C-alpha cells in the first residue's frame, strides 16, 4: 500500500476586527480585511493519510466517522490540495478537537487550518504559510488566520491568490489576553454563513460596515505593533458593536445577543470605569470575550465570578501558529 501521511496542529482564533460577509461564496473571499488573535488553549490535531488503495474519502472527527454529506467544506480543502500537487487518490482524515463545545469558541477555524496543513504536509512542502492559509480559507474563512500565531491580518483580496493571511506580531510580542464568558454553548439558531448573507443583502448599514472596517485595519496594525492595548481594545470593541448593529438593521432584524450578553457588556464597562482596563468583543453568538492585559487577568476573572459560574469563565493567552509535530 502506497501511503502518504501528514500531521498538523492548529489553534483557534478570535477576530479583533471582524470578518462579516463574503463577496464570493465559492472561494470564501471576504468583503473586508480582518485582524485576529490566535489563542493558546484551544486547538485541533489532524492526521491525513492518502493512499491509492482507498476508494473514497473518509473523515473521522473525535473518532466518529462523519456522514459524507457533511464533508462539503472538508472536500473543498482536500480537492484544492490534491489539485495543487497532482494527486488523484483518496484520503482518510483523523481529526481530534481540543476545543470543548462548552468553551463557547468555534472549532471550524482550527479544524480547517489543521486539515489544510496536514494534507499539504502529506503531499508537499509546508514552508509557504501564506499558501496554507489560502487552502484553509476554502474550508472556513477564519481558518486562514489560524495558520499563524499571535496577531494575524487576513487580506480580503480579489481572487484565490490574493486572499491570504499573514502574521503582524508573534505571540510573545503582544500583551493581550482573553477571558471568555460562556453564556450559551449550544449551536446558534442562525449559522454565521446565513447571518452574513442575510445582513449583506438587507442591512442598509452594511456598506458602511465594510468601509469602516477596512479603514480601521491600518489603525489596528499600528496599535498592535506599538503594543497599544488601549487602542487595540477600543478598535476591537467598536468593531464588534458595528457588526452586531448590522444584524439589528437587517430585514427581518435578528440578533445573536442573549439578555446575559447585555449584562456582560455593562459589567465590562463598569469594570473599566472602576480603573481596571478591559474591553469586550463578541462574535456571531451570545458569548462575550473580555480583552485584558496579563497584570489584570486574575482581577477580571474574579470580578466576573460574582456574576457567572466559574465554569463559564475560560482564560486564554496568545497562541502559536500551525505545527507539524505533536510535541
Beta bridge partners of 191: none
Instruction: Identify the band that residue 2 occupies on the pLDDT scale cut at 50, 70 and 90.
Output: confident
Residue 66, SS3 per DSSP: coil
Q: Is the pLDDT of residue 327 over 70?
A: no
- Measured CA to CA in angstroms, residue 55 lies from 51, 76, 90, 116 at distances of 9, 18, 6, 21
Q: What is the pLDDT of residue 144?
A: 98
In this predicted structure, the answer to whether residue 104 has a pLDDT above a threshold of 90 is: no
Dihedral sign computed on CA atoms, order 217, 264, 287, 276: positive
Q: If pLDDT is split at 50, 70 and 90, which confidence band does 325 have?
A: confident
Residue 158 has pLDDT above 70, yes or no: yes
Q: Strand 90-98 and strand 58-61: pairing?
A: parallel
Closest C-alpha among 301, 271, 40 to residue 180: 301
**Mean pLDDT computed over 245-270:** 97
User: Per the structure block, which three cell numbers stand in for 256?
Assistant: 445573536
Cα–Cα distance between 6 and 47 in angstroms, integer? 6
Q: What is the pTM of this model?
A: 0.96
d(CA 202, CA 186): 27
- For residue range 208-257, list pLDDT tens digits in order: 999 999 999 999 999 999 999 999 999 999 999 999 999 999 999 999 99
* CB contact set of 20 (below 8 Å; sequence gap of 6+): 31, 32, 196, 199, 209, 243, 246, 284
For residue 326, the model assigns a pLDDT of 72
Strand partners, 309: none
Percent of the chain with pLDDT over 90: 92
Q: Checking DSSP bridges between strand 165-169 and strand 151-154, what pairing results, if any?
A: antiparallel
**What confidence tier does 102 reach under pLDDT thresholds 50, 70, 90?**
low
Query: Quick check: 9 and 45 in contact, CB under 8 A?
Result: yes
Sign of the CA dihedral running 301, 306, 310, 312: negative
Distance CA 327, CA 325 (A): 6
According to the model, what pLDDT value does residue 76 have?
97
Say if CB 272 and CB 230 are below 8 A apart: no
Write down the pLDDT at residue 81.
98
Confidence of residue 1 (pLDDT cuts 50, 70, 90): low
Q: How many residues does the chain have?
A: 327
In whole angstroms, what is the distance from residue 24 CA to residue 75 CA? 18
Give the model's pLDDT for residue 254: 97
CATH numbers and ranges of domains, the chain: 3-173 (3.30.230.10), 177-316 (3.30.70.890)
Amino acid at each position: 500500500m502506497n501511503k502518504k501521511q501528514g500531521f498538523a496542529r492548529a489553534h483557534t482564533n478570535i477576530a479583533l476586527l471582524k470578518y462579516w460577509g463574503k463577496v464570493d461564496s465559492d472561494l470564501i473571499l471576504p468583503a473586508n480585511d480582518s485582524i485576529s488573535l490566535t489563542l493558546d488553549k484551544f486547538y485541533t490535531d489532524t492526521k491525513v493519510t492518502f493512499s491509492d488503495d482507498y476508494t473514497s474519502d473518509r473523515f473521522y472527527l473525535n473518532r466518529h466517522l462523519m456522514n459524507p454529506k457533511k464533508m462539503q467544506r472538508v472536500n473543498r480543502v482536500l480537492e484544492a490540495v490534491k489539485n495543487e500537487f497532482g494527486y488523484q487518490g483518496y484520503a482518510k482524515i483523523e481529526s481530534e478537537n481540543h476545543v470543548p463545545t462548552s468553551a463557547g469558541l468555534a472549532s471550524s477555524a482550527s479544524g480547517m487550518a489543521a486539515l489544510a496543513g496536514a494534507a499539504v504536509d502529506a503531499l508537499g512542502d509546508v514552508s509557504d504559510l501564506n499558501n496554507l492559509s489560502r487552502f484553509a480559507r476554502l474550508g472556513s474563512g477564519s481558518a486562514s488566520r489560524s495558520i499563524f500565531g499571535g496577531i494575524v491580518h487576513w487580506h480580503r483580496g480579489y481572487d484565490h491568490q490574493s486572499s491570504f493571511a499573514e502574521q503582524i506580531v508573534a505571540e510573545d510580542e503582544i500583551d493581550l489576553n482573553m477571558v471568555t464568558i460562556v453564556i450559551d454553548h449550544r449551536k446558534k439558531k442562525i449559522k454565521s454563513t446565513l447571518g452574513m448573507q442575510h445582513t449583506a443583502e438587507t442591512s442598509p448599514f452594511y456598506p458602511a460596515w465594510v468601509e469602516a472596517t477596512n479603514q480601521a485595519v491600518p489603525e489596528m496594525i499600528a496599535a498592535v505593533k506599538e503594543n497599544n492595548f488601549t487602542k487595540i481594545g477600543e478598535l476591537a470593541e467598536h468593531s464588534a458593536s458595528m457588526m452586531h448593529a448590522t444584524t439589528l438593521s437587517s430585514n427581518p432584524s435578528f440578533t445573536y445577543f442573549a439578555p446575559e450578553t447585555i449584562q456582560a457588556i455593562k459589567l465590562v464597562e463598569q469594570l473599566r470605569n472602576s480603573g481596571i482596563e478591559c474591553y469586550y468583543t463578541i462574535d456571531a453568538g451570545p458569548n462575550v470575550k473580555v480583552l485584558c492585559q496579563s497584570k489584570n487577568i486574575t482581577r477580571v476573572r474574579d470580578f466576573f465570578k460574582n456574576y457567572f459560574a466559574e465554569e463559564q469563565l475560560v482564560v486564554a493567552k496568545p497562541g502559536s501558529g500551525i505545527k507539524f509535530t505533536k510535541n
